[in-house]
Amino acid sequence: MTTHEPGLYIHVPFCRGKCPYCDFYSFRADAAFKARYTDLIIKNIIEEQTGKGLTFRTVYFGGGTPSQLGAQNLCRVLDVIQKTPHAEVTVECNPSDLCEEWTQAQLDALVKHGANRISMGMQSAVEQERKALGRRAGKQQVEQAVAMVKAAGVTDFSLDVMLGIPFQTPETVRQSVAFCAESGATHLSAYLLKIEQGTPFEKVEKTLNLPDEDECCELYLTACEEAEKNGFHQYEISNFAKPGRASRHNLIYWNDEEYIGIGPAAHSFFSGKRYYNTADAEHYHAVPDGDGGSFEEYAMLRLRLTEGLTEQGTKERFGFALPAKVRQAAAPFAAQGLLISDEAGVRLNPRGFLVSNTIIAALLS
């Protein structure tokens, strides 16, 4: 499966400070370094476009913190990207960056240069939880950032909520989801905190007052329930959207479709091959990472979606029906109320998503 309209991911590895739970490739940089980095990724984007004859249907600036690259540099990058009409163009922004370092005019310029979707890392609308996560912005700054995004004419924006964090309860999860709804967000990401090796949180994990496993399950199910009550339809394990506002870029990943990754530590899938860039902001290069697009890979990714692994999609992609072994392996999980297996296909429900790794491994073993 090869298309000349893949997605484009651009990694921006800059942050003002490292969050204590983060293990992504990111660091502080001065204005001169950011300008050089912008030149480098522009060069690589042009090479990809001309070398492969590509036009991108989605563009996603991730990080790190893309808003740390600055409005001028982001606009420079947007100006060279060849996009399809009505392409989705997402920029991740830190609320404190928008409030403290950006002007309304700069955000307006970003939108005029093509950005039409903003994703903000709120993590929590509860001050105690935000402080425990090392977030700079308070709730008031998040509200200010949302107001700036709306004033720029962006009608499609997402807020992140982290689950299983210090001091969190079902009631505070409800407060955070309610904040997202009241803000006018069209998309909500709600994902469980994972303590990564080598992070500051790993060193002090026992002192963090974290919810236990059963409590984390309750927090996740509460988030799912509250999101639905507030009009956010769950379409993936950790993602919820108002009708028609699911992230088109992320759906490329979960549908096992093609995308090009630009920047250090970025991954790509193109012409049946997967590869990743080394984690070196000045001298990164691509490293082969094997073939992609197999049924097993496709099924693993599709089972993250609430739509699941469908008969129609499988036939269209591979020319055969869902294998009998998948149906057989699904039966005991269906009996436990963790998934649905019917004429449409196999799909997990919220309780099944809590043990998705186990279920998906069993279905594809």
Contact present, 35 and 75 (Cβ < 8 Å):
no
pLDDT of residue 209: 84
Q: Which of 232, 235, 163 is nearest to 193 (CA)?
A: 163
**Which residue is associated with the tokens 């370092």?**
101
If pLDDT is split at 50, 70 and 90, which confidence band does 313 have? very high
Question: What are phi and psi for residue 354, nearest 5 degrees?
Answer: -65, -25
Rounded average pLDDT over 235-245: 98
Q: How far apart are CA 107 and CA 74, in angstroms?
A: 10
Indicate whether 3 pLDDT > 70: no
**What domains, with CATH codes, occur in the chain?**
7-253 (3.80.30.20), 309-365 (1.10.10.920)
96 near 133, Cβ under 8 Å? no
Q: Is the pLDDT of residue 1 over 80?
A: no
Report d(CA 161, CA 215) in Å as an integer.
16
Q: Give residue 266's pLDDT.
A: 98
How far is CA 262 from each of CA 5, 10, 269, rounded to the nearest angstrom?
15, 5, 12
Tokens, residue 229:
């009550």
Phi, psi of 232 (to 5 degrees): -95, 115
How far apart, in whole angstroms, are the C-alpha atoms of residue 71 and residue 263?
A: 18
Q: Band of the pLDDT at 23, cuts 50, 70, 90? A: confident
**Residue 206 has what pLDDT?**
87
Q: Would you place residue 2 in the very low, low, confident or very high pLDDT band (cuts 50, 70, 90)?
A: low
Among residues 219, 147, 221, 227, which one has the least CA distance to residue 181? 227
Q: Which residues contact 27 (CB under 8 A, 6 or more apart)?
A: 13, 14, 15, 18, 281
CA dist., res. 128 & res. 138, Å (int): 10
